Amino acid sequence: MGIDYHVASGLVAATSASSEASVPSGPSVRQTPSPEPSEAGPGIVVEVCVDSVQSALNAVDGGADRLELCGNLGLGGGTTPSMGLYKRVHKIADGIPIMVMIRPRTGDFLYSESELEVMIEDIRAFKRRGARGVVFGVLTKEGTVDVERTKVLVDEALPMEVCFHRAFDMTRDADEALRDVLSIGGVSRILTSGHNGTTAPSSITTLKSLCTDISTLTADQPFPTTILPGSGVNPDTVGPLLRELLDVGVREVHLSGGSWLKSDMIHRREGFGMGVGGEGEWGIWTTDETRVRQKFFAESTRAADWSKFHDGPITAP
């Protein structure tokens, strides 16, 4: 039985070339980093995406277990944050892990060579600054995961955690995209609304299928890639979501808890703007501490309250 070895950023991974349970990955296999334990204990990890110092403070005060740091979150899903923003948020986050968005612009996920170089430089910079991980996604023009380019970014990121973001939901086929991501190796989690719908609560069936497929395809891996449900996750929807997904291994959720706040500006030149339009022209996208601090996030996701979402004991996935 042959063993294929691949060295990626100092990590050596070995897989059986003929294992039926392994994901077809060609000559290169990367090892997914060991996940860090949550300070919340054996409950659900709540990841909050933020794009400002105030939003980060609100998320931390509201009980977030992990931050996804972006720029321009309210405009097209977020872009790479500035280093100044990262350094300030890192200082006030009080040890809470920070995943940094690596996205050089809004729009599609078909990147030029120059844009890929920008992403590589940004990964290196945030890696030097001690980020827990990075978040990115790269697609081909045909709507598939760009495996080769994603491998390049993963190799730059390791041993940091890597999240393949909701570019996953823009692919032409969920099963194909899942197998492509798993074939890369080194990807800690996939952020997805379930591919079949625009929100996680509306895509329960697909989310279940993705989690089940991961369990089968990565049965021989000590730290397999996990599914991170996001979009439409709030105190009203998360109960039914968890009731359906706990049994298939979901242990973390993603949300923003944000909305547009009105500007304090008194003088506003009529007919002038920066092209955003609507509330975003003068408003400020801000995470609401009270929304993060809802009883679900403050208490119900912790181990002592599993019974609210599940009948019987909960075991590690």
- Please give the pLDDT value at position 301: 47
In a domain, 195, yes or no: yes
CATH number at residue 230: 3.20.20.380
Task: Give the C-alpha separation, 174 to 180, whole Å.
Answer: 10
Tokens of 230: 């996001």
For 195-207, the pLDDT digits (tens) are 987 888 888 999 9
Question: Domain tally for the chain?
Answer: 1
Type and span of the H or E element at 136: strand 133-136
State which residues form the domain around 143. 44-261+280-301
Residue 295 belongs to some domain of the structure? yes
In a domain, 316, yes or no: no
Q: Write out the chain's pLDDT in tens, 317 residues.
A: 332 223 233 332 333 333 333 333 333 456 676 555 444 334 788 899 999 999 999 899 888 899 999 998 877 789 999 999 999 999 999 899 999 999 999 999 999 999 999 999 999 999 999 999 999 999 999 999 999 999 999 999 999 999 999 999 999 999 999 999 999 999 999 999 989 878 888 889 999 999 999 999 988 887 889 999 988 887 788 888 888 899 999 999 998 866 666 777 777 767 766 556 566 566 776 666 666 665 344 444 443 354 455 444 444 43
Q: What are phi and psi of 292, to 5 degrees?
A: -75, -30
CA-CA distances (angstroms) from residue 87 to 69, 157, 284? 11, 18, 21
